[in-house]
Amino acid sequence: MSAPVVVLASHNAGKLRELRELLRGQVPGLDVDTQVIDAATAGATDPVEDQVTFEGNALKKAREVAASTGLIALADDSGLSVDVLGGAPGIFSARWSGVHGNDEGNIDLLLAQLGDIAAEHRGAQFVCAAALATPTGNEHVELGKVEGILRTERAGEHGFGYDPIFEPSGSGKTMAEHTPEEKNATSHRARAFAALLPAIIDEVTKALAAS
């Protein structure tokens, strides 16, 4: 088996699967099933997300994992930005209610905060920063966004986070009412990594040629 050349700075199996499918067939000589691995396989720990922007957090994670593993590292950071809240919850999306990963609590608090806000002022965006860092110091970062509105009540059984109350513009249904395939094709994360793909292909091609 060839040595891995790309590590995803995450322990999320679903994210690794998505990344492998994104890269499959894109880089000659890259076996995505053996040469694209997650942080756990690479022996890397999760960096602390202490930056003040999505781009900052994504770059920090990629930079630290690239340095600790000696591999090209990819990372992302994402969240919900609400217009009337000045862009909040933003980087605090996952812990808006005070407990990291409390999806129901986060939604409940946000709905309460927007309780008196009319539909025309409930605009929001899902935002994702995707970053690449190499052990030699090359760095790239791209943003992906999905515009939409926030519903007043939950709808849908798919997804996670704020998906049950976020309706992408023109869709007529919440993100949680989209199938996983529909979401993955159009999500903010998919858009961010698609924008980053040329840089990924360039860096991975150079790494393969040097190996």
Residues belonging to the binding site for Mg(2+) are 77
Where is the binding site for substrate, in residues?
A: 10-15, 78, 160-163, 183, 188-189
Q: How many CB atoms lie within 10 A of CB 183?
A: 20
User: Cis peptide leading into 164, omega within 30 of 0?
Assistant: no
DSSP H helices, the chain, are 13-23, 32-35, 39-42, 54-69, 103-113, 180-186, 188-210
103 is a catalytic site residue? no
Three-state secondary structure call for residue 150: strand
Q: Of the listed 77, 83, 103, 116, which one is catalytic?
A: 77
AA identity, residue 202: D
Q: Which residue has the tokens 């806000």?
A: 117
Q: How far is CA 178 from CA 94, 132, 149, 158, 190, in A?
A: 21, 29, 15, 7, 15
Q: What amino acid is encoded at 32 in this protein?
A: V
> What are the Cα distances from residue 104, in Å, to 94, 98, 167, 198, 200?
11, 12, 17, 37, 35
CA angle 110, 112, 114 (to 5 degrees): 70
Catalytic residues: 77
